[in-house]
Amino acid sequence: MNRIIFADNLDALGTLPDESASLIYIDPPFNTGKRQERLQLKTVRDEEGGDRTGFQGKRYRTIKIGSTGYIDTFDDFLGFLEPRLAEARRILRPDGSLFFHIDYREVHYCKVLLDSIFGRDSFINEIIWAYDYGARSKRRWPAKHDNILWYARDAENYIFNYDDIDRIPYMAPGLVGPEKAARGKTPTDVWWHTIVSPNGKEKTGYATQKPLGIIERIVTAHSRPGDLVVDFFAGSGTVGEAAGRLGRKFYLIDNNPDAIRVMARRLVRFDVELINADGIVQEDRNQPKSLFSL
């Protein structure tokens, strides 16, 4: 059974059996010292007081209908992460992997912590997710990438479905010939992928939502159909979406009511068990708006 669990992730992780997950992907708060927030907006026709012009010159007014977010500040970020990462290693299968998504502010400190928990030999790759969107600083090189650290439970034995990886175009197809150019190449450790478009169909309205394409690549390459995939900073539920679409089971854990609401709506088409902080199963899975009476 797939599960969405509304609880402190350290408590919830303690209930999972040893060596039960093939893949863990987490996108913890980046410790930016700011509130991460995304506004939810809608537009209505308003020829008199409209604040924007649309198709054929018609005027529209923007209305704020809500927001989602959380405070991204920790006094002891590594102390917060350490017991959770230790639990992550415990629940990984012998051939399982952890993918840890962070940014330039904390990645160096987090890698040292992960080395101490998994062992330096278990570090396999640092993946750079590069994008080109948003404001550009005039005082330094604009930061337009995130870091994803890959650790295997066993550096000599881990799932890596190379033949299933999606292919991307060659940057210079004329240098490789028509056959190779048509087939494309497998990605390197630098992944160019746009962020979730603020106006796209994929968006959920949840702050810091990550693109489905990035997560599907990880789930495809590092788990098998029927395997369990865990995300204990689940946010908007992208890991659940990717796992469900690819025939994997998923456990998603978060203690943010906004995240639970978004996930419940987004993943209702999958066979999902909704569990609150007291371990009580939500009776009606088809009524996400009333989830846990929030």
Residue type, 67: S
Nearest CA among 97, 105, 92 for reference residue 122: 97
- CA 41 to chain CA centroid, nearest Å: 23
Statement: residue 199 has pLDDT above 60: yes
Rounded to whole angstroms, what are the CA distances from 10 to 89, 219, 232?
13, 23, 9
Statement: residue 5 has pLDDT above 90: yes
CB 61 within 8 A of CB 53: no
Report pLDDT digits (tens) over 60-69.
555 544 444 4
- pLDDT at position 207: 80
Residues 132 and 8 occupy one common structural domain = yes
Statement: residue 260 has pLDDT above 60: yes
As a whole number of Å, the end-to-end CA separation of the chain is 23
Mean pLDDT within 258-282: 85
CB 206 within 8 A of CB 259: yes
Residues 65 and 181 occupy one common structural domain = no
**Averaged pLDDT of the chain:** 85
pTM of the model: 0.82
Burial class, 253, CB count within 10 angstroms (exposed 0-12 / middle 13-18 / buried 19+): buried
Mean pLDDT within 90-106: 96
Nearest CA among 284, 257, 259, 289 for reference residue 273: 284
- In 135-206, beta strands by DSSP E: 145-152, 190-192
Residues 170 and 60 occupy one common structural domain = no
- pLDDT at position 108: 95
Residues 127 and 164 occupy one common structural domain = yes
Compare 115 and 66 and report the one with higher pLDDT.
115
CB 73 within 8 A of CB 118: no
- Domain tally for the chain? 2
* Band of residue 237 on the pLDDT scale cut at 50, 70, 90: very high
| CATH number, domain containing residue 122 | 3.40.50.150
- Answer with the one of 49, 72, 95 that is the final residue of a domain: 72
Measure the CA–CA gap between 218 and 240, rounded to whole angstroms: 12
Residues 50 and 122 occupy one common structural domain = no
Domain residue limits at 268: 2-33+73-293
- pLDDT at position 232: 97
**Per-residue exposure over 150-180, b if at least 16 CB sit within 10 Å of its own CB, e if not:** bbbbbeeebbeeeeeeeeeebeeeeeeeeee
Statement: residue 293 has pLDDT above 90: no
* Band of residue 33 on the pLDDT scale cut at 50, 70, 90: very low
CB 104 within 8 A of CB 32: no
- pLDDT at position 29: 86
Compare 71 and 210 and report the one with higher pLDDT.
210
Residues 63 and 89 occupy one common structural domain = no
Residues 243 and 135 occupy one common structural domain = yes
Counted residue by residue, the chain has a size of 294
And the tokens for 84? 């959770």
Mean pLDDT within 165-188: 94
- pLDDT at position 114: 98
Among the residues of 151-271, which ranges form H helices? 178-183, 212-222, 238-245, 257-266
